[in-house]
Structure 1
Amino acid sequence: MTKSFDKVPKHVALIMDGNGRWAQERGLSRIEGHKEGAQSVRAVLRAAAQAGVEYITVYAFSTENWKRPPKEVEGLMKLLVGSLNSYEQELHDNHIRLRVMGQFERLPLPVRMRLQKTIDATAHYTDHTFIIALSYGSRTEIADAAKQIAEKVKAGELDPKKINEQTLANHLYLPDVPDPELMIRTSGELRLSNFLLWQISYSEFYITETYWPDFREEQFFQALEAFNHRDRRYGGVKK
């Protein structure tokens, strides 16, 4: 299924919510919900490439998710490695670059090694970029940026009078990535969950009741269709 749109967001961010509830309603384990959710990631990447979206960022594992039961965390990490093993060729077929944002060093060594392998293998692609937010928290990201700026001021490398919004943006985890124009959250939840708080200042929000495991190409295209009907003024007045 191929769709075209008058306006295509350059960057779409997704909060993938509802895996656990999807599984519970079917009498399955939470990890089974996460496995089905991984299929939705694959479907969205295909749909985004078809529509011409250049950047997709998914909130896969937050800094708060480390508080989940160890068995679930271990299952999620195994699922991540398994998904890379299964779907890396699809990244190559669609010329999709993989990047990761978050506290990379907190991830288990085998996971870091597997991720780095795919990151290196796809680094030369420029058509599309798939960003996985792993061990990510936006407040931590902003705090880390502030620390870097403070260190530069202390070292005499930066005049505090010249610090502005762009200064902070330049010290975020992926400063070269444009801010998302569209942020999608599934399962009907109405909160940001510490995701890209700085970057989504002017993003359009699309909230759907659909659980993430049921969010596939058709649902992604519906979100893009909704985006096409938004009037984006960035605080200005419609002419």
Structure 2
Amino acid sequence: EEHDLAVSLRDRNDLAAARALVMSHLRFVVKIARGYSGYGLPQSDLIQEGTLGLMKAVRRFDPDMGVRLVSFAVHWIKAEIHEYILRNWRIVKVATTKAQRKLFFNLRSAKKRLGWFSRQEVEQVAEDLGVKPETVLEMESRLSNYDLAYDGTDSDDDDGPSIAPAAYLPDLRHEPSMLIERADNAETERDGLYTALESLDARSRDILQRRWLNENKETLHDLAAEYGVSAERIRQIEAAAMKKLRSSMAA
């Protein structure tokens, strides 16, 4: 059945066949996504990103290659999840180069197994991954550091000392001039947002409203089902609308 569906998609651009292939492999996406639960990111987002990878794989799958879709798709699923994790895991991006990305996903598992690295272990990891020892040490440092919030505290005791930057600045939040300025800014931004939204077509405006502005935000798949298109298409419309919105508000 998988082969027949893939042939129908390739030869006749059969969207029903594409949907059937995606739906039949969603459990596989969930299984892969669960393997990344240790990064502290929403499981639903990991599954959604993995599903986008599956959709890309389905589009590129050739049934005559002699491999199953599940084997072909695993690379695409993991690639989308990896990109999402790298964008969202830390406030400060931890991996920007190809070598750093390779290290990011391999070094965390090695650290769990070995703890702190000795020089010999650093050199061994570098050799195994094909990178320089200095790159391993740099990534280990990035993974060991934590993000310090501007207004956070490093103490579990609320009465204890704080090293957060905000603790050393005067609190101007309740000065009358600041309150008036914030109210004016909020009104200006709100008016600018509504004006920019009116410049969008009805579908784009509806998608942005329900994805970002409503209290109960809807997923890409919810909107895709309602509009009768793929989740990837909804994402494209959303991205284009966001770009136009930013341009309108910056003008």
Same fold (TM over 0.5): no
TM-score of the superposition, structure 2-length normalised?
A: 0.22
Q: Which has the higher strand share?
A: 1
Q: Which has the larger radius of gyration?
A: 2
Q: Which has the higher contact order (CA 8 A, sep 6+)?
A: 1
Q: Which has the higher helix share?
A: 2
